[in-house]
Amino acid sequence: MRCMGSIPPTPPDTDMDELTTDVQAPGRPRLLLRLAGAPIIPMGTLSGVGLPEGVAWANWFAFYNALSWSVVLGAPLYLFAKYLGAGDGLLGLVAALPPLLAVLHIPGNHLIPKLGYRRMVLWGWMSRTVAIAFIAIIPLAISQRGIGLTVLILLLIIFSGCRGLAGGAWMPWLSTIVPTDVRGKFFLRDQLFGQTGNVLALLLVTAIFKFIQGPAAFSIAFALATAGGVSSVLCLTAVPDATDLDLHAQAGSRIPFAKMLAAKPFRLLCIFNIVYMLVMGSLVVFTVAYLRDVAKLPPSEIIGLTAFSTLGGAASLFWCGQVVNKIGARPILTASLIVSIAVFLCWFLVAAELIPPRLPVLGFIYLISGIASINFAAANNHMQSVSVPQIGRNHHFALLLVLLNLAAGVSPLAWGLVLEAIGNNRIHLFDLDITRYAVLFVSCAGLLMLVLTMLRRLDIHRPETK
Protein backbone atom coordinates (compact mmCIF):
# COMPACT_ATOMS: atom_id res chain seq x y z
CA MET A 1 0.00 0.00 0.00
CA ARG A 2 1.32 3.38 -0.97
CA CYS A 3 1.41 5.86 1.83
CA MET A 4 1.59 9.63 2.04
CA GLY A 5 4.47 11.95 1.50
CA SER A 6 4.50 15.25 3.29
CA ILE A 7 6.43 17.78 5.30
CA PRO A 8 9.86 17.89 6.96
CA PRO A 9 10.52 20.18 9.90
CA THR A 10 11.26 23.87 9.36
CA PRO A 11 14.98 24.42 8.58
CA PRO A 12 16.86 25.90 11.57
CA ASP A 13 17.83 29.04 9.63
CA THR A 14 14.22 29.93 8.72
CA ASP A 15 12.72 33.01 10.34
CA MET A 16 9.39 31.90 11.81
CA ASP A 17 7.71 35.32 11.52
CA GLU A 18 8.63 35.52 7.86
CA LEU A 19 7.42 31.96 7.31
CA THR A 20 4.07 32.63 8.97
CA THR A 21 3.52 35.71 6.82
CA ASP A 22 4.35 33.81 3.64
CA VAL A 23 1.99 30.97 4.41
CA GLN A 24 -0.87 33.33 4.97
CA ALA A 25 -0.31 35.46 1.88
CA PRO A 26 2.28 33.96 -0.51
CA GLY A 27 2.64 36.47 -3.33
CA ARG A 28 3.88 35.17 -6.63
CA PRO A 29 7.46 36.54 -6.48
CA ARG A 30 7.85 35.28 -2.90
CA LEU A 31 6.29 31.95 -3.91
CA LEU A 32 8.70 31.48 -6.80
CA LEU A 33 11.64 32.30 -4.55
CA ARG A 34 10.51 29.67 -2.04
CA LEU A 35 9.99 27.10 -4.79
CA ALA A 36 13.46 27.73 -6.17
CA GLY A 37 15.17 27.95 -2.80
CA ALA A 38 13.87 24.77 -1.20
CA PRO A 39 16.70 22.44 -0.12
CA ILE A 40 17.02 19.37 -2.35
CA ILE A 41 17.86 16.95 0.47
CA PRO A 42 16.76 17.99 3.99
CA MET A 43 18.68 15.29 5.82
CA GLY A 44 16.71 15.73 9.05
CA THR A 45 13.74 14.01 7.44
CA LEU A 46 15.67 10.74 7.15
CA SER A 47 16.01 10.34 10.91
CA GLY A 48 13.40 8.54 12.98
CA VAL A 49 14.17 10.72 16.01
CA GLY A 50 10.98 12.23 17.40
CA LEU A 51 8.65 9.50 16.20
CA PRO A 52 6.76 7.49 18.86
CA GLU A 53 8.24 4.15 19.84
CA GLY A 54 7.59 1.47 17.22
CA VAL A 55 6.03 3.83 14.66
CA ALA A 56 9.21 3.86 12.53
CA TRP A 57 8.53 0.17 11.77
CA ALA A 58 5.60 1.36 9.65
CA ASN A 59 8.17 3.07 7.40
CA TRP A 60 10.06 -0.21 7.05
CA PHE A 61 6.76 -1.89 6.25
CA ALA A 62 6.41 0.59 3.36
CA PHE A 63 9.89 -0.39 2.13
CA TYR A 64 9.35 -4.16 2.14
CA ASN A 65 5.76 -3.84 0.97
CA ALA A 66 7.04 -1.94 -2.08
CA LEU A 67 9.30 -4.90 -2.91
CA SER A 68 6.05 -6.83 -3.21
CA TRP A 69 3.50 -4.50 -4.85
CA SER A 70 5.90 -3.05 -7.41
CA VAL A 71 6.10 -6.53 -8.97
CA VAL A 72 2.54 -7.77 -8.42
CA LEU A 73 0.79 -4.51 -9.30
CA GLY A 74 3.18 -3.14 -11.91
CA ALA A 75 4.93 -3.74 -15.20
CA PRO A 76 6.15 -7.31 -14.37
CA LEU A 77 2.53 -8.46 -13.84
CA TYR A 78 1.35 -6.88 -17.10
CA LEU A 79 4.27 -8.41 -19.01
CA PHE A 80 3.44 -11.79 -17.49
CA ALA A 81 -0.20 -11.46 -18.56
CA LYS A 82 0.92 -10.56 -22.10
CA TYR A 83 3.29 -13.55 -22.04
CA LEU A 84 0.30 -15.76 -21.19
CA GLY A 85 -1.57 -14.39 -24.21
CA ALA A 86 -3.76 -11.61 -22.77
CA GLY A 87 -5.08 -9.06 -25.26
CA ASP A 88 -5.87 -5.45 -24.37
CA GLY A 89 -9.28 -6.42 -22.95
CA LEU A 90 -7.96 -9.14 -20.62
CA LEU A 91 -4.96 -7.00 -19.77
CA GLY A 92 -7.37 -4.29 -18.68
CA LEU A 93 -9.18 -6.85 -16.50
CA VAL A 94 -5.90 -7.92 -14.88
CA ALA A 95 -5.09 -4.27 -14.10
CA ALA A 96 -8.65 -3.59 -12.92
CA LEU A 97 -9.03 -6.40 -10.37
CA PRO A 98 -6.93 -4.94 -7.49
CA PRO A 99 -8.57 -1.51 -7.46
CA LEU A 100 -12.09 -2.81 -8.17
CA LEU A 101 -11.98 -5.22 -5.24
CA ALA A 102 -10.98 -2.34 -2.98
CA VAL A 103 -14.76 -1.96 -2.61
CA LEU A 104 -14.28 -4.53 0.16
CA HIS A 105 -12.90 -1.66 2.25
CA ILE A 106 -16.54 -1.02 3.20
CA PRO A 107 -17.41 -4.45 4.71
CA GLY A 108 -13.85 -4.67 6.03
CA ASN A 109 -14.38 -1.38 7.84
CA HIS A 110 -17.05 -3.04 10.01
CA LEU A 111 -14.51 -5.64 11.17
CA ILE A 112 -12.09 -3.02 12.54
CA PRO A 113 -13.84 -2.63 15.94
CA LYS A 114 -13.71 -6.42 16.46
CA LEU A 115 -10.17 -7.10 15.24
CA GLY A 116 -8.41 -3.77 15.75
CA TYR A 117 -6.27 -2.00 13.18
CA ARG A 118 -3.12 -4.12 13.50
CA ARG A 119 -4.81 -7.54 13.45
CA MET A 120 -6.91 -6.45 10.49
CA VAL A 121 -3.91 -5.41 8.37
CA LEU A 122 -1.82 -8.40 9.52
CA TRP A 123 -4.51 -10.85 8.48
CA GLY A 124 -4.93 -9.24 5.08
CA TRP A 125 -1.22 -8.96 4.30
CA MET A 126 -0.45 -12.54 5.33
CA SER A 127 -3.23 -13.82 3.08
CA ARG A 128 -2.18 -11.74 0.08
CA THR A 129 1.44 -12.89 0.49
CA VAL A 130 0.30 -16.52 0.24
CA ALA A 131 -1.50 -15.65 -3.02
CA ILE A 132 1.71 -14.10 -4.41
CA ALA A 133 3.61 -17.29 -3.56
CA PHE A 134 1.17 -19.32 -5.66
CA ILE A 135 1.51 -16.83 -8.54
CA ALA A 136 5.28 -17.46 -8.46
CA ILE A 137 4.59 -21.15 -9.13
CA ILE A 138 2.49 -20.58 -12.28
CA PRO A 139 5.34 -19.94 -14.78
CA LEU A 140 7.07 -23.23 -14.00
CA ALA A 141 4.10 -25.45 -13.07
CA ILE A 142 1.60 -24.65 -15.87
CA SER A 143 2.76 -25.04 -19.46
CA GLN A 144 -0.52 -24.17 -21.23
CA ARG A 145 -0.73 -20.40 -21.35
CA GLY A 146 -4.52 -20.22 -21.46
CA ILE A 147 -4.80 -22.22 -18.24
CA GLY A 148 -2.00 -20.20 -16.69
CA LEU A 149 -3.84 -16.96 -17.46
CA THR A 150 -7.04 -18.31 -15.89
CA VAL A 151 -5.20 -19.36 -12.72
CA LEU A 152 -3.44 -15.99 -12.60
CA ILE A 153 -6.77 -14.15 -12.70
CA LEU A 154 -8.21 -16.37 -9.96
CA LEU A 155 -5.19 -15.77 -7.72
CA LEU A 156 -5.38 -12.04 -8.41
CA ILE A 157 -8.99 -12.12 -7.23
CA ILE A 158 -7.88 -13.75 -3.96
CA PHE A 159 -4.93 -11.36 -3.62
CA SER A 160 -7.07 -8.31 -4.32
CA GLY A 161 -9.91 -9.48 -2.08
CA CYS A 162 -7.64 -9.88 0.96
CA ARG A 163 -5.98 -6.57 0.18
CA GLY A 164 -9.35 -4.88 -0.18
CA LEU A 165 -10.77 -6.17 3.10
CA ALA A 166 -7.74 -5.19 5.16
CA GLY A 167 -6.51 -2.11 3.29
CA GLY A 168 -9.15 0.23 4.66
CA ALA A 169 -7.68 -0.07 8.15
CA TRP A 170 -4.26 1.28 7.15
CA MET A 171 -4.79 5.03 6.89
CA PRO A 172 -7.04 5.29 9.98
CA TRP A 173 -4.46 3.27 11.91
CA LEU A 174 -1.64 5.64 10.94
CA SER A 175 -3.79 8.69 11.65
CA THR A 176 -4.34 7.31 15.17
CA ILE A 177 -0.78 6.34 16.15
CA VAL A 178 1.16 9.19 14.49
CA PRO A 179 0.85 12.51 16.40
CA THR A 180 -0.04 15.60 14.38
CA ASP A 181 3.21 17.41 15.17
CA VAL A 182 5.37 14.67 13.54
CA ARG A 183 2.88 13.46 10.93
CA GLY A 184 4.55 15.41 8.12
CA LYS A 185 7.96 13.94 8.96
CA PHE A 186 6.51 10.44 9.22
CA PHE A 187 4.64 10.53 5.91
CA LEU A 188 7.60 11.93 3.99
CA ARG A 189 9.76 9.14 5.43
CA ASP A 190 7.03 6.67 4.53
CA GLN A 191 6.95 7.82 0.90
CA LEU A 192 10.75 7.79 0.69
CA PHE A 193 11.01 4.30 2.19
CA GLY A 194 8.29 3.02 -0.10
CA GLN A 195 9.75 4.53 -3.25
CA THR A 196 13.23 3.26 -2.35
CA GLY A 197 11.82 -0.25 -2.09
CA ASN A 198 9.99 0.30 -5.37
CA VAL A 199 13.17 1.35 -7.20
CA LEU A 200 15.20 -1.50 -5.68
CA ALA A 201 12.61 -4.10 -6.67
CA LEU A 202 12.36 -2.83 -10.24
CA LEU A 203 16.15 -2.73 -10.63
CA LEU A 204 16.40 -6.31 -9.36
CA VAL A 205 13.64 -7.46 -11.71
CA THR A 206 15.33 -5.61 -14.60
CA ALA A 207 18.53 -7.56 -13.88
CA ILE A 208 16.56 -10.81 -13.65
CA PHE A 209 15.04 -10.33 -17.11
CA LYS A 210 18.36 -9.18 -18.51
CA PHE A 211 20.14 -12.41 -17.64
CA ILE A 212 17.31 -14.96 -17.45
CA GLN A 213 14.86 -15.68 -20.25
CA GLY A 214 11.48 -17.36 -20.38
CA PRO A 215 9.10 -18.38 -17.58
CA ALA A 216 11.87 -18.79 -15.00
CA ALA A 217 12.39 -15.00 -14.98
CA PHE A 218 8.75 -14.41 -14.05
CA SER A 219 8.89 -17.07 -11.35
CA ILE A 220 11.97 -15.51 -9.74
CA ALA A 221 10.43 -12.03 -9.92
CA PHE A 222 7.27 -13.15 -8.11
CA ALA A 223 9.39 -15.07 -5.58
CA LEU A 224 11.09 -11.74 -4.81
CA ALA A 225 7.65 -10.21 -4.31
CA THR A 226 6.76 -13.04 -1.93
CA ALA A 227 9.91 -12.41 0.14
CA GLY A 228 9.04 -8.72 0.31
CA GLY A 229 5.53 -9.58 1.48
CA VAL A 230 6.81 -11.84 4.26
CA SER A 231 9.24 -9.16 5.45
CA SER A 232 6.49 -6.51 5.45
CA VAL A 233 4.29 -8.71 7.64
CA LEU A 234 7.13 -9.10 10.15
CA CYS A 235 7.47 -5.30 10.28
CA LEU A 236 3.75 -4.94 10.98
CA THR A 237 4.06 -7.06 14.13
CA ALA A 238 6.33 -4.35 15.63
CA VAL A 239 4.01 -1.41 14.86
CA PRO A 240 1.92 -0.38 17.92
CA ASP A 241 -1.84 -0.75 17.71
CA ALA A 242 -4.23 2.13 18.49
CA THR A 243 -4.45 2.81 22.24
CA ASP A 244 -6.69 5.90 22.29
CA LEU A 245 -10.11 4.25 22.55
CA ASP A 246 -12.03 7.53 22.45
CA LEU A 247 -10.26 8.58 19.26
CA HIS A 248 -10.87 5.14 17.79
CA ALA A 249 -14.55 5.39 18.63
CA GLN A 250 -14.82 8.86 17.07
CA ALA A 251 -13.04 7.72 13.92
CA GLY A 252 -15.37 4.75 13.66
CA SER A 253 -18.57 6.75 14.09
CA ARG A 254 -20.88 5.66 11.32
CA ILE A 255 -22.09 8.35 8.95
CA PRO A 256 -24.37 7.55 5.99
CA PHE A 257 -22.55 7.76 2.66
CA ALA A 258 -25.23 10.11 1.30
CA LYS A 259 -24.58 12.51 4.19
CA MET A 260 -20.83 12.42 3.58
CA LEU A 261 -21.26 13.18 -0.12
CA ALA A 262 -23.78 15.91 0.66
CA ALA A 263 -20.94 17.95 2.18
CA LYS A 264 -19.68 19.98 -0.78
CA PRO A 265 -15.94 20.05 0.14
CA PHE A 266 -15.77 16.27 0.54
CA ARG A 267 -17.89 15.70 -2.61
CA LEU A 268 -15.63 17.91 -4.72
CA LEU A 269 -12.56 16.17 -3.28
CA CYS A 270 -14.01 12.81 -4.35
CA ILE A 271 -14.94 13.97 -7.86
CA PHE A 272 -11.52 15.54 -8.41
CA ASN A 273 -9.73 12.33 -7.45
CA ILE A 274 -12.15 10.08 -9.36
CA VAL A 275 -11.60 11.86 -12.69
CA TYR A 276 -7.84 11.86 -12.09
CA MET A 277 -7.84 8.11 -11.45
CA LEU A 278 -10.00 7.46 -14.54
CA VAL A 279 -7.07 8.87 -16.48
CA MET A 280 -4.01 7.67 -14.59
CA GLY A 281 -5.38 4.18 -14.01
CA SER A 282 -4.60 3.36 -17.64
CA LEU A 283 -1.14 4.91 -17.96
CA VAL A 284 1.19 2.15 -16.75
CA VAL A 285 -0.66 -0.85 -18.13
CA PHE A 286 -1.12 0.43 -21.69
CA THR A 287 2.28 2.08 -22.01
CA VAL A 288 3.68 -1.37 -21.15
CA ALA A 289 1.39 -2.93 -23.79
CA TYR A 290 2.46 -0.35 -26.37
CA LEU A 291 6.17 -0.77 -25.69
CA ARG A 292 5.92 -4.56 -25.86
CA ASP A 293 3.57 -5.03 -28.82
CA VAL A 294 4.28 -1.99 -30.98
CA ALA A 295 7.73 -0.69 -30.07
CA LYS A 296 8.98 -4.27 -29.54
CA LEU A 297 11.11 -3.46 -26.51
CA PRO A 298 12.37 -6.40 -24.42
CA PRO A 299 10.97 -6.86 -20.88
CA SER A 300 14.23 -5.80 -19.22
CA GLU A 301 14.15 -2.39 -20.93
CA ILE A 302 10.46 -1.83 -20.16
CA ILE A 303 10.93 -2.59 -16.47
CA GLY A 304 14.15 -0.56 -16.43
CA LEU A 305 12.26 2.47 -17.74
CA THR A 306 9.71 2.01 -14.95
CA ALA A 307 12.53 1.94 -12.40
CA PHE A 308 14.01 5.11 -13.93
CA SER A 309 10.64 6.82 -13.60
CA THR A 310 10.31 5.85 -9.94
CA LEU A 311 13.88 6.88 -9.13
CA GLY A 312 13.38 10.40 -10.50
CA GLY A 313 10.08 10.78 -8.71
CA ALA A 314 11.45 9.58 -5.38
CA ALA A 315 14.40 11.98 -5.53
CA SER A 316 12.05 14.93 -6.07
CA LEU A 317 10.07 14.09 -2.94
CA PHE A 318 12.67 15.83 -0.78
CA TRP A 319 11.91 19.08 -2.56
CA CYS A 320 8.16 18.48 -2.50
CA GLY A 321 8.22 17.77 1.22
CA GLN A 322 9.94 21.09 1.87
CA VAL A 323 7.64 23.32 -0.15
CA VAL A 324 4.19 21.80 0.36
CA ASN A 325 4.01 22.89 4.01
CA LYS A 326 5.04 26.44 3.10
CA ILE A 327 2.86 27.07 0.05
CA GLY A 328 0.15 24.41 0.40
CA ALA A 329 -0.80 21.45 -1.76
CA ARG A 330 -2.51 23.39 -4.56
CA PRO A 331 0.65 24.69 -6.37
CA ILE A 332 2.21 21.21 -6.29
CA LEU A 333 -0.99 19.64 -7.61
CA THR A 334 -1.21 22.28 -10.37
CA ALA A 335 2.38 21.80 -11.50
CA SER A 336 2.04 18.01 -11.41
CA LEU A 337 -1.11 18.09 -13.53
CA ILE A 338 0.47 20.37 -16.14
CA VAL A 339 3.47 18.05 -16.42
CA SER A 340 1.17 14.99 -16.63
CA ILE A 341 -0.71 16.60 -19.52
CA ALA A 342 2.62 17.12 -21.28
CA VAL A 343 3.50 13.47 -20.62
CA PHE A 344 0.34 12.20 -22.31
CA LEU A 345 0.89 14.54 -25.27
CA CYS A 346 4.42 13.15 -25.62
CA TRP A 347 3.04 9.62 -25.58
CA PHE A 348 0.52 10.70 -28.24
CA LEU A 349 3.33 11.93 -30.49
CA VAL A 350 5.23 8.68 -29.97
CA ALA A 351 2.16 6.51 -30.64
CA ALA A 352 1.31 8.65 -33.70
CA GLU A 353 4.82 7.87 -34.99
CA LEU A 354 5.93 11.49 -35.11
CA ILE A 355 8.60 10.82 -32.46
CA PRO A 356 10.51 7.52 -32.61
CA PRO A 357 10.27 5.33 -29.47
CA ARG A 358 13.99 5.39 -28.72
CA LEU A 359 15.32 4.80 -25.23
CA PRO A 360 16.57 8.39 -24.60
CA VAL A 361 13.16 9.78 -25.59
CA LEU A 362 11.25 7.19 -23.56
CA GLY A 363 13.60 7.69 -20.61
CA PHE A 364 12.86 11.43 -20.55
CA ILE A 365 9.10 10.82 -20.74
CA TYR A 366 9.26 8.25 -17.94
CA LEU A 367 11.42 10.56 -15.80
CA ILE A 368 9.06 13.55 -15.90
CA SER A 369 6.07 11.21 -15.58
CA GLY A 370 7.47 9.75 -12.37
CA ILE A 371 8.23 13.19 -10.94
CA ALA A 372 4.70 14.41 -11.72
CA SER A 373 2.80 11.37 -10.45
CA ILE A 374 4.73 10.90 -7.21
CA ASN A 375 4.60 14.57 -6.27
CA PHE A 376 0.89 14.67 -7.10
CA ALA A 377 0.37 11.66 -4.80
CA ALA A 378 2.38 13.29 -2.01
CA ALA A 379 0.48 16.59 -2.19
CA ASN A 380 -2.88 14.90 -2.75
CA ASN A 381 -2.48 12.54 0.19
CA HIS A 382 -1.41 15.43 2.40
CA MET A 383 -4.50 17.34 1.28
CA GLN A 384 -6.70 14.35 2.11
CA SER A 385 -5.11 13.93 5.53
CA VAL A 386 -6.20 17.43 6.57
CA SER A 387 -9.53 17.42 4.70
CA VAL A 388 -11.20 14.33 6.18
CA PRO A 389 -13.02 15.03 9.50
CA GLN A 390 -12.04 13.16 12.66
CA ILE A 391 -15.63 12.18 13.39
CA GLY A 392 -16.48 9.33 11.04
CA ARG A 393 -12.89 9.33 9.78
CA ASN A 394 -12.84 5.57 9.09
CA HIS A 395 -15.96 5.79 6.95
CA HIS A 396 -14.82 8.93 5.12
CA PHE A 397 -11.52 7.25 4.26
CA ALA A 398 -13.29 4.02 3.30
CA LEU A 399 -15.69 5.82 0.97
CA LEU A 400 -12.93 7.91 -0.61
CA LEU A 401 -10.65 4.90 -1.11
CA VAL A 402 -13.47 2.82 -2.57
CA LEU A 403 -14.45 5.54 -5.04
CA LEU A 404 -10.84 6.08 -6.10
CA ASN A 405 -10.15 2.41 -6.53
CA LEU A 406 -13.36 1.86 -8.48
CA ALA A 407 -12.24 4.64 -10.83
CA ALA A 408 -8.76 3.11 -11.05
CA GLY A 409 -10.34 -0.25 -11.87
CA VAL A 410 -12.87 1.04 -14.39
CA SER A 411 -10.14 2.97 -16.24
CA PRO A 412 -8.05 0.05 -17.63
CA LEU A 413 -11.13 -2.13 -18.07
CA ALA A 414 -12.98 0.48 -20.13
CA TRP A 415 -9.94 1.58 -22.11
CA GLY A 416 -8.99 -2.03 -22.76
CA LEU A 417 -12.40 -2.62 -24.36
CA VAL A 418 -12.07 0.60 -26.38
CA LEU A 419 -8.63 -0.42 -27.65
CA GLU A 420 -9.95 -3.89 -28.56
CA ALA A 421 -12.81 -2.24 -30.50
CA ILE A 422 -10.46 0.07 -32.43
CA GLY A 423 -8.08 -2.81 -33.13
CA ASN A 424 -5.50 -2.16 -35.84
CA ASN A 425 -7.54 0.55 -37.56
CA ARG A 426 -5.67 3.80 -38.08
CA ILE A 427 -6.14 7.22 -39.62
CA HIS A 428 -3.39 9.17 -41.39
CA LEU A 429 -3.70 12.88 -40.54
CA PHE A 430 -0.95 15.15 -41.87
CA ASP A 431 2.24 13.55 -40.55
CA LEU A 432 0.43 11.71 -37.74
CA ASP A 433 -0.58 8.06 -37.75
CA ILE A 434 -3.59 7.94 -35.42
CA THR A 435 -3.61 4.44 -33.89
CA ARG A 436 -5.61 3.05 -30.98
CA TYR A 437 -2.86 4.01 -28.53
CA ALA A 438 -2.68 7.54 -29.95
CA VAL A 439 -6.43 7.88 -29.33
CA LEU A 440 -5.96 6.71 -25.74
CA PHE A 441 -3.14 9.12 -24.93
CA VAL A 442 -4.68 12.26 -26.46
CA SER A 443 -8.02 11.50 -24.76
CA CYS A 444 -6.30 11.19 -21.39
CA ALA A 445 -4.53 14.52 -21.94
CA GLY A 446 -7.90 16.14 -22.54
CA LEU A 447 -9.39 14.66 -19.38
CA LEU A 448 -6.45 15.90 -17.31
CA MET A 449 -7.16 19.41 -18.58
CA LEU A 450 -10.62 19.00 -17.06
CA VAL A 451 -9.04 17.86 -13.76
CA LEU A 452 -6.84 20.95 -13.79
CA THR A 453 -9.89 23.22 -14.01
CA MET A 454 -11.58 21.29 -11.19
CA LEU A 455 -8.62 21.91 -8.88
CA ARG A 456 -9.54 25.58 -8.60
CA ARG A 457 -12.88 24.68 -6.99
CA LEU A 458 -11.39 22.59 -4.18
CA ASP A 459 -11.49 23.99 -0.66
CA ILE A 460 -8.11 22.84 0.63
CA HIS A 461 -8.42 23.58 4.34
CA ARG A 462 -8.71 21.59 7.53
CA PRO A 463 -12.47 21.11 8.05
CA GLU A 464 -14.43 21.55 11.24
CA THR A 465 -14.84 18.25 13.10
CA LYS A 466 -17.99 19.03 14.99
Give the whole-angstrom CA distance, residue 457 versus residue 442: 25
In 10 A of CB 355, how many CB atoms?
15
CATH of 57-455, one of 1.20.120.530, 1.20.1250.20, 1.10.260.30, 1.20.1560.10: 1.20.1250.20
Give the whole-angstrom CA distance, residue 389 versus residue 253: 11
Say which residues have a Cβ less than 8 Å from residue 141's Cβ, sequence separation at least 6: none
Measured CA angle at 434 (ends 428, 439), to 5 deg: 155
Taking only the tens of pLDDT, the chain with its 466 residues reads 343 333 333 233 333 222 223 333 344 444 444 443 444 444 455 566 678 888 889 999 999 999 999 999 999 999 999 999 999 999 999 999 998 998 887 788 778 878 888 899 999 999 999 999 999 999 999 989 999 999 999 999 999 999 989 987 887 888 788 887 777 778 778 878 888 899 999 999 999 999 998 899 999 999 999 999 999 999 999 999 876 544 444 444 566 667 777 777 788 888 999 999 999 988 999 999 999 999 999 999 999 998 888 887 777 776 766 676 677 778 889 999 999 999 999 999 999 989 999 999 999 999 999 989 888 987 887 777 666 666 666 677 778 878 888 899 999 999 999 999 998 888 887 778 889 999 999 999 999 999 999 988 876 654 443 3
- Give 439-443's long-range contacts (Cβ < 8 A, gap of 24+): 440/282, 440/286, 440/351, 440/415, 441/344, 441/345, 441/347, 441/348, 441/351, 442/344, 442/345, 442/348
Domain ranges of the chain: 57-455
**332: enclosing H helix or E strand:** helix 329-351
Burial class (CB in 10 A: 0-12, 13-18, 19+), 236: buried
Give the whole-angstrom CA distance, residue 441 versus residue 279: 9
Give the whole-angstrom CA distance, residue 75 versus residue 172: 29
Rounded to the nearest 5°, which phi and psi values hold at 428? -90, 120
